[in-house]
Structure 1
Amino acid sequence: MEKDTQIFGIRAIIEAIQSGKTIDKVFLQKGLRGDLFQELETLIKRENINYSYVPVEKLNRLNNKNHQGAIAQISPIDFVDIETLVMQASEATKTPLFLLLDQVNDVRNFGAIIRTAECTGVNGIIIQKKGGAPVNGDTIKTSAGAVFKIPICKVDHIKDALFHLQASGIKVIAATEKTDNTLYDISFKEPCAIIMGSEGRGINPSVLKLVDDKAKLPLLGEIESLNVSVACGAFLYEAIRQRR
């Protein structure tokens, strides 16, 4: 965790949240008690901020100053809301292209995906508030700065974004091996959004039930899957090929 994107101290974190700062995650000391600490816990849960309870030793490694049992990671970017993202993209083009990441949790994969998305003209990336990789220094470096050039939206759950996109006339396509269709059988010419799943689990089954279409990459070797950032690149460039 980079020191220049940290807030430490219970009161400082409370004030940061109340002032509207974008907080990626809060680390709380296990077993800590007190009225102020409880106020912070309540605020974090009410604002649906990602958090975890950790031993004091981890907090000391993150920051050896007087952290009071709480350290927060601030996001280096401002996120957009789903309504604004869809509206602005629809005004900019007749065939917007969105990318949804269902808890991709490796920051280097995340950064590589952001870089490819920017290069392929994706109108926005949608991630879930909890469970995915944060936007931090590693993400920025791997994205080659693309993180500052493409809108990123956070939602409480990927399903929230999926419903909003479908209601806005945008087809949602899942990249999954659980289908007979390859990406070459699917049309990407209309407004659409592509969902990529996490490195280990793939797309959540409950999300998979709601998509409009599914597609997989043909794999001709013995290895059964591709790195998610590589697979994402293949999907995005097929969308570009069809739209040219």
Structure 2
Amino acid sequence: MVERYRRGKQKTPLLGNHQKCWVWGRNVVLETLRVWNWPILELYCSDQLEPDEMEVVHVLAKQNDIAVHLEPGASLHKRCHSSEHQGYLAKMTAFPYAESLPLLTQIIESKKCPLLVICDAIQDPYNFGALIRSAEAFGVDGVFIGSTHQVGVTSLVARSSAGAVNHIPIARTEDLEEIINVAKRRGIQVLGTSASSGIPIFECDLKNPTALIIGNEGCGMRNSLCNHSDHLVRIPQHGEVSALNTAVSAGILFYEARRQQELQKQNLI
């Protein structure tokens, strides 16, 4: 049986939420500037950046009509409380989450074989960011997260995703069960995941429209979501370590789904 994580009032903020107004690091800041899906309020760069680096920043900033503030590296460190800014720092607006049901409808109507991920109470921002990075790499069409017990898109998530949060739609909802039920009614198979029980993922037919539920790092999926799933799947393991990291597991699942779908396109399976 899949364990239920503890409910109740969340006493402490999830890791990374205290830094949610700032994004830093070369790759994520430049990618955010390029895409401009997540608008920047203020942009700061180190006054020690190389001229060619500053040229890239100024071109992107001009395209988005935002000023570039040059400051010593120590000042950037003071603003974001991190020495890993690499000379790039942005103060952000609130992350632009998509509306869950309209996003689900849009994906179903526009994609021939959609692949979705539903995150159930993933709390570590590094895990969540790495999951989003893998989801974007393997062409996942949308990420759906709950509004409680779930880390949102913060600075740490954005950095861990290497900027992938700018390229994949992420919706936040108060009712994941509604998303699951609507998806099932629209012909999407919903697969829950488990570390120890269920169908081995390599034996599961993933060639059809699929939504994968990724559970909490410690407790897995809630029983209620497990009961709404069409099947439970697992990743066979052969080593001594009992479970894979959440983001690693998700990456394997995404890859296998897209592998099967690509082979089907080539009439190989």
- Per the normalisation by structure 2, the TM-score is 0.62
Q: Is the 8 A contact 2:20 2:154 kept in 1?
A: no
Amino acid at match of 1:242: Q
Is 1:85 matched with 2:128? no
Alpha-carbon deviations, 1:2-23, whole Å to 9, x = none? 3846xxxxxxxxxxxxxxxxxx
Q: Is the 8 A contact 1:120 1:236 kept in 2?
A: yes
Partner in structure 1 of residue 171 of structure 2: 153
Amino acid at match of 1:115: R
Is 1:141 matched with 2:174? no
Task: Note closer, same or farther for the CA distance 1:3–1:149 as it changes in structure 2 (3 Å cut).
Answer: closer
Q: Is the 8 A contact 1:76 1:136 kept in 2?
A: no
Task: Note closer, same or farther for the CA distance 1:4–1:93 as it changes in structure 2 (3 Å cut).
Answer: closer
Amino acid at match of 1:126: F
Partner in structure 2 of residue 45 of structure 1: none
Alpha-carbon deviations, 1:206-238, whole Å to 9, x = none? 210110111101111121110000000000000
Q: Indicate which of 187, 196, 199 corresponds to 2:217.
A: 199
- Any gaps of 5 or more consecutive residues in structure 1? 6-73
Partner in structure 1 of residue 253 of structure 2: 235
Shift of residue 145, structure 1, vs aligned partner: 0.6
Q: Is the 8 A contact 2:191 2:233 kept in 1?
A: yes
Shift of residue 91, structure 1, vs aligned partner: 2.9
Please give the alpha-carbon distance, in whole angstroms, between the structure 1 residues aligned to 2:93 and 2:220: 25
Alpha-carbon deviations, 1:80-134, whole Å to 9, x = none? 1222112221233111110001000000000000000001111100000010112
Is 1:172 matched with 2:190? yes
Instruction: State the secondary structure of the residue aligned to 1:122.
Output: coil
Please give the alpha-carbon distance, in whole angstroms, between the structure 2 residues aligned to 1:242 and 1:193: 15
Partner in structure 1 of residue 47 of structure 2: none
Which deviates further from its counterpart, 157-166 or 99-108? Answer: 157-166
Please give the alpha-carbon distance, in whole angstroms, between the structure 2 residues aligned to 1:105 and 1:4: 18
Shift of residue 178, structure 1, vs aligned partner: 4.8
Alpha-carbon deviations, 1:131-189, whole Å to 9, x = none? 01121110110001110111111111321211121122111011113534100111111
Instruction: State the secondary structure of the residue aligned to 1:209.
Output: helix
Please give the alpha-carbon distance, in whole angstroms, between the structure 2 residues aligned to 1:3 and 1:86: 26
Q: Is the 8 A contact 2:193 2:233 kept in 1?
A: yes
RMSD across aligned positions (CA): 1.6
Partner in structure 2 of residue 30 of structure 1: none
- Any gaps of 5 or more consecutive residues in structure 2? 1-17, 23-91, 263-269
Which deviates further from its counterpart, 225-234 or 152-161? Answer: 152-161
Count of matched residue pairs: 176
Partner in structure 2 of residue 162 of structure 1: 180
Alpha-carbon deviations, 1:35-77, whole Å to 9, x = none? xxxxxxxxxxxxxxxxxxxxxxxxxxxxxxxxxxxxxxx8742
Task: Note closer, same or farther for the CA distance 1:223–1:151 as it changes in structure 2 (3 Å cut).
Answer: same
Q: Indicate which of 119, 128, 131 corresponds to 2:146.
A: 128
Task: Note closer, same or farther for the CA distance 1:163–1:3 as it changes in structure 2 (3 Å cut).
Answer: closer
Q: Indicate which of 84, 106, 112 corresponds to 1:94.
A: 112
Please give the alpha-carbon distance, in whole angstroms, between the structure 2 residues aligned to 1:157 and 1:173: 17
Amino acid at match of 1:134: G
Please give the alpha-carbon distance, in whole angstroms, between the structure 2 residues aligned to 1:195 and 1:85: 17
Q: Indicate which of 228, 234, 253 corresponds to 1:210.
A: 228
Amino acid at match of 2:208: E
Instruction: State the secondary structure of the residue aligned to 2:199.
Output: coil
Partner in structure 2 of residue 55 of structure 1: none
